[in-house]
Amino acid sequence: MSEIKDFVLHLRLNYNFLILSAPFFLGALYLPKISSFTHFIFLFALIYIFLFGGANAYNSYFDKDEGPIGGLEHPPTMKKWMYFMAWIMQITGLILSFFAQSIFSILFIFSIILFWIYSSPNFRFKGKPILSFIVIGIGTVFNTVLMGYLAAGGIILSTELLIGAVGATLIILGMYPFSQTYQINEDKKRGDTTFAVKYGINGIKRNYQFLFLLGVLLLSYSFLFNKTLAIIIFIIGLSAYLFIWQIIKTISGDRSEYKKVMRTKYIAGLAFTLAMILLLIL
């Protein structure tokens, strides 16, 4: 039972639900209404439990971290069976995704492939700063916005949706490298040249200043078909940008700052998610 509990911890569902949920709900904002709430939540579970959860466990198996990782301060030791279970979860999610449109399943399997080349020793895109950005940006955010749109009943991928997906991707990528600041030493030991390893804490801060703000502008622009919504999203995004900067500008990259970094990401992710849900309700 203890090993099962350890495996569940490595799914990092708290991280998935509280930090990464916003892109999925964002996709639904490009439709007048959600066609089937039950269907929408079912597909949400497939992504955030089976796809992201399985990918997190798969990544943990190869990382073998002893120090804190995103959403898990004290990661337990991974066992061989957990590697296979991580794959089983992702494949199960893919099979169940066939209840949705075919394009949803295509995006689902595309994300599985991206997460595989991100973590697998055969490719290990995680250890390459630019390639890791591409994988995380597309697999975690861009695809998820599109899948949220499709899950809500969307059919045609509009230009506004694609621009918004790019904007959301840039916002998340602005925050992404901060999860690497407390893993620099372990990444160096594995030979992973992550963004934090290559560009340091100052490069991470500059990345945030540029990508996050550009993402807010693109996301707001994508909602010009509803000017009120565009203004609200711009105000929320700009406020988040300024608030988060007040915290992360003080980060030095020390491992002891794990809780500060995670607290900031939880606040930002949860606020973004709640804002999307509130706008959907309204």
Residue 64's pLDDT is what? 82
Question: Is 259 a residue whose pLDDT tops 90?
Answer: no
Q: Using 50, 70 and 90 to split pLDDT, how confident is the model at 187?
A: confident
Question: Is 181 a residue whose pLDDT tops 90?
Answer: no
pTM of this structure: 0.94
pLDDT in tens, 53-85: 999 999 999 988 777 787 888 889 999 999 999
154-185 exposure pattern, b = at least 16 Cβ within 10 A, e = fewer? beeeeeebbbbbbbbbbbbbbbbbbbbbbbbe
* DSSP string over 209-254: HHHHHHHHHHHHHTTTTSHHHHHHHHHHHHHHHHHHHHHHTT----
Show the domain range for 178: 2-281
What average pLDDT does the segment 138-143 reach?
96
Looking at every residue in the chain, the average pLDDT score rounds to 91
pLDDT in tens, 73-132: 888 999 999 999 999 999 999 999 998 878 999 999 999 999 999 999 988 888 888 999
pLDDT in tens, 34-44: 999 999 999 99
Contact 208, 243 (CB under 8 A): no
How many domains does the structure of the chain reveal?
1
What average pLDDT does the segment 233-256 reach?
89
* Token couple for 29: 């904002």
What average pLDDT does the segment 221-239 reach?
94
Residue 72 bridge partners (DSSP) = 69
Residue 129's pLDDT is what? 87
